[in-house]
Amino acid sequence: MVQTVPCKYKTGRVLGNGTYATVKEAMHVDTGKYYAVKIINKKLMEGREHMIRNEINVLRRISQNHKNILSLVDYFETLNNLYLVTDLALGGELFDRICQKGSYFERDAAHLVQVVVEAVQYLHENGVVHRDLKPENLLFRTPDEDSDLLIADFGLSRIIDTEKFHVLTTTCGTPGYMAPEIFKKTGHGKPVDMWAIGVITFFLLCGYTPFEHDSNMDEMHAIMNADYSFDEQYWHGVSDNAKDFITKLLTIDPSKRLTAEQALEHPWLQAEVKKEDEGKDLLPNVSKNFNARRTFKKAVDLVRLSQYLGHKHAASMGGGKARDDSSHQGVQDLDGVKPVQEGLDEVLKTDE
């Protein structure tokens, strides 16, 4: 018989909805301290339930020893969901913060990238591959100007089944930050994080990602062929060093891609830039591109959603054929993996 115990946390407002999880604010009942709790449907962990506790303890230990990694504080589970309790990051997402600044120069982007690479180097040294690095997973601890930048969601790929993780990130998200070898199914080790850092760096310097296309399939082909360019219209004034750094990360062959250690030695991250030599303000260009694409992406997402819902409705009425394009493969298998809504008076007992 399953044993239950009173839950130590009360969950409140929704802070965000991701591809495979909901994030809510949570308060520790005894201390009154606030945290964020990431809720993940256990269907995503089928076949590796026996590993979860061990993996979470490893992630918890690793996360609490680096100031730029969001600390995993605790976890608990119910019959349906796994709840990961992390520190509450109140400073907002990376790109929103950039757009609120009065100015933004290449050296600012280099500093942000250096922080990310140092944190990723630490993860890699501890045997953890993030596998889902993207700007939405880069958060500030507080709204203060000098707040720490934090990497969130690291290590989820060690808890969630590999195949399901890939289906979710490609079907429900954009493939834009994923490395070629993920689509080719030839590997998903440390180099995939370095590729993602290349995409993030590109994005930080111009406000759009290198492989953008109207469809996920076209985007995937562009990624697999490293088909991108530095359009002079948007890249005028960005240094050759920055472009070289990106090029050495967006390399199709993972064995020729820079490692985290090598990236930290690259001249772009090593250079000391004096204030009078900092070049042009990138903010007008970057924020214009970012906001235009954010508006466009919302429109595309709405169209995709309505098509998907329409397709499901037609299928349920017996009038629709199952979709077989690769951008939707696997969706049916993962219907219903969103976290289950449930009261949290009691949770499953875990033996500490």
Q: Which residues are tagged catalytic?
A: 132
β pairing state of 81-86 and 72-77: antiparallel
DSSP-derived secondary structure letter, 157: G
Element (H, E) at 25: strand 21-28
Q: Which tokens in the block code for residue 273?
A: 């830039």
Q: Which tokens in the block code for residue 287?
A: 């924020």
Determine phi and psi for 188, rounding to 5 degrees.
Answer: -150, 50
Q: How far apart are CA 103 and CA 276, in angstroms?
A: 14
Q: Using alpha carbons only, what angle is made at residue 133 by residues 309 and 207, rounded to the nearest 5 degrees?
A: 80
What is the 3-state secondary structure of 87-106? CCCCCCEHHHHHHHCCCCCH
Q: What is the dihedral sign for C-alpha 295, 224, 196, 41?
A: positive
Q: How far apart are CA 187 and CA 315, in angstroms?
A: 35
Could you tell me where the DSSP H helices lie in 207-282? 216-224, 232-235, 240-249, 260-265, 267-270
Ligand-binding annotation for 190, yes or no, is no
Q: Which residues contact 125 (CB under 8 A, 6 or more apart)?
A: none
Q: Known binding site for ATP: residues?
A: 38
